[in-house]
Amino acid sequence: MRVCQRCVGLLLSGPLSAALQQSTRVLHQRSHLILLRHSTRQPLVHTLSQRHSGETWRHFTDHQAASPDVHNKVDLAQKEVVPLNSDVHPISSQVSLLDGQSIDLDAVVRPSPLQEISEEEAVQIQVPSALPPESSTLRPYVDKSETLSKLVQLGVNLWELEQRPNVGSMLVRLDFRADVAPRLLFLKDLGVEESKLGRLLTKNPFILTESLDNLEARVSYLKSKKFSKQSVAAMVSKAPYLLNFSVERLDNRLGFFQKQLGLSAEKTRDVVTRLPKLLCGSLEPIKENLKVCELEFGFRGNEIQHIVSTVPKVLIANKRKLTQIFDFIHNTMDVPHSLIAKFPQVLNAKFLRIRERHLFLEYLGRAQYQPSQPNYISLDRLVFLPDDVFCSEVALATLEDFERFQKTL
């Protein structure tokens, strides 16, 4: 059986059942008869009613009454109308489409829902996604997204990530097997401990979108600069964004520290390995701290080299805190530059601890920081010993005395 394109569109709009087939065939018969009527008289009536006057119209109707052929075709069309409640019989006539083609009804009938299909056809079936179209949190997606559930198992903090713009939508779009798994394997092969992957991805989820070729190129560059595999793994763990930067940027940063500080290649590698954030952050705070050490504090070039090599954090320390500590040690405690450069860890200590212990020693009359004088107390023993050891070995007092003194400050 052949039907018009309109009927085919109706058939294709949903599953084919026996009831829909019967209703569609009835609609086909009705459309066939309507088409026949339009082909006989409607175009004539429509055209003549627009162009002729009432007298011409009466002449046309008289002529139509005198023409038995047209009248018979109309009667025949009316007799062929099948009531909706009657049995439907197959129609063997063919309906031509506007473009001269015809569509066979049997050719467009889809298989039964119970009929088996091939694997190729099964793969092509598109199943609607069960994920909500939008959400202000990642919680509704965790149970339905393999990527998110695996990240949670690794220890990634999704709550922290969803607070950052566009990160949540980026994670939902990632495919675990194609996007996430290869990069996790890359990090594990590099030497990053599995227990640290969660923290690393929480800090830098964008590494999951970096090209594997770029990641491998950056690791290869660091190895070419004689960074060991263990060093690179430790650097990536400490500075999760390290591998997001291009080879050109990494090369410029290493060249800057080696040239600006006058360090050897080996000492530069040691400084960067201990503090890989130097390769990731802005250079402006580093340049400013170097100027402060030289111009405001008055350290010489070799002293700055020793300070940076021993305590790299001085380069990224808060300028106000750094100035406060140096001013108290140098001007209040009367410690010269050479001793501060000899024990540069003191510049990274807590100011309150330095102040409380110095004042307590001064109260006891034991504040002596000159190596050439008796009862000399080095800066490292002043700052880094526990309270009980400091009291018993340095202050020669009890811990209770020190605690009572702290309450007077």
pLDDT, tens digit, 9 for 90 and up, residues 276-330:
999 998 899 999 999 999 999 999 999 999 999 999 999 999 999 999 999 999 9
88 has a pLDDT exceeding 60 = no
Task: Looking at the structure, tell me whether residues 35 and 96 fall in a common domain.
Answer: yes
pLDDT, residue 361, reads 97
Query: Is residue 40 domain-shared with residue 73, that is, in the same domain?
Result: yes
Q: For position 4, what pLDDT does the model report? A: 47
Q: What is the pLDDT of residues 322-360, one digit of tens each?
A: 999 999 999 999 999 999 999 999 999 999 999 999 999
Listing DSSP states for 33-99 in one string gives HHHHHHHHTHHHHHHHHHHS-HHHHHHHHHHHHT-HHHHHHHHHHHHTPPPTTSPP------PPPTT
Which two structure tokens, joined as six digits, stand for 71? 């009248």
Strand partners, 3: 103
Domain boundary among 58, 90, 111: 111
- 17 shares a domain with 72: yes
CA distances from 288 to 252, 274, 294 (A): 18, 21, 10
Residue ending a domain, choose from 111, 136, 156? 111
Check whether residue 306 and residue 374 sit in a common domain: no
Residues 312 and 360 in one domain: no
Three-state SS at 339: helix
d(CA 338, CA 321): 20
pLDDT in tens, 23-39: 445 445 554 444 445 44
74-81 contacts: CB < 8 A, separation 24 or more? Answer: 74/37, 74/40, 74/41, 77/33, 77/36, 77/37, 77/40, 80/33, 81/29, 81/30, 81/33
Residues 312 and 331 both lie in one domain = yes
The Cα–Cα gap between 261 and 267 comes to 10
Query: Is residue 346 a contact partner of residue 354, using CB atoms and an 8 Å limit?
Result: yes
- Grade residue 167 by pLDDT with cuts at 50, 70 and 90: confident
401 within some domain: yes
Looking at the fold, whether 288 and 384 belong to one and the same domain comes out as no
Residue 212 lies in a domain: no
pLDDT above 90 covers what percent of the chain?
55
Q: How far is CA 259 from the centre of its chain?
A: 36
Domain-located, residue 84: yes
pLDDT, tens digit (0-9, with 9 covering 90-100), for 126-147:
655 555 555 556 666 666 778 8
- Looking at the structure, tell me whether residues 24 and 75 fall in a common domain: yes
How crowded is residue 293: how many other Cβ atoms within 10 Å of its Cβ? 23
Does residue 142 belong to any structural domain of this protein? Answer: no
Say which amino acid occupies 379.
L
What is the reported pLDDT for 75? 46
253 assigned to some structural domain: no
Tokens of 85: 């409640």
Domain assignment of residue 176, yes or no: no
Q: Among 364, 367, 350, which Cα is nearest to 402's?
A: 364
Q: For residues 340 and 393, state if they share a domain.
A: no
* 341 lies in the same domain as 369: no
Kindly state whether residue 297 falls inside one of the protein's structural domains: yes
Task: State the total domains in the chain.
Answer: 3
Q: Tell me the CA distances in angstroms from 165 to 56, 240, 255, one per residue in order.
A: 76, 19, 34
Average of per-residue pLDDT across 7-15: 46
Q: Is residue 38 part of a domain?
A: yes
Residues 293 and 385 occupy one common structural domain: no
Which domain range does residue 319 map to? 282-345
Give the whole-angstrom CA distance, residue 199 versus residue 245: 19
> pLDDT exceeding 70 applies to what percent of the chain?
68
Question: Is the pLDDT assigned to residue 96 strictly greater than 50?
Answer: no
Of 388 and 171, more confident? 388
How many alpha carbons lie under 13 Å from residue 301 in its C-beta half-sphere? 5
Instruction: Tell me how far apart the alpha carbons of residues 406 and 409 are, in angstroms, rounded to a whole number.
Output: 5
pLDDT tens string 359-400: 999 999 999 999 999 999 999 999 999 999 999 999 999 999
Separation between Cα atoms, residue 201 and residue 44, nearest integer Å: 77
Last residue of a domain, one of 329, 345, 361: 345
C-alpha distances out from residue 252 to 70, 215, 233, 258, 288, Å? 93, 18, 21, 10, 18
Is the domain of 301 the same as that of 385? Answer: no
Q: How far is 244 from 265, CA to CA, in rounded Å? A: 23
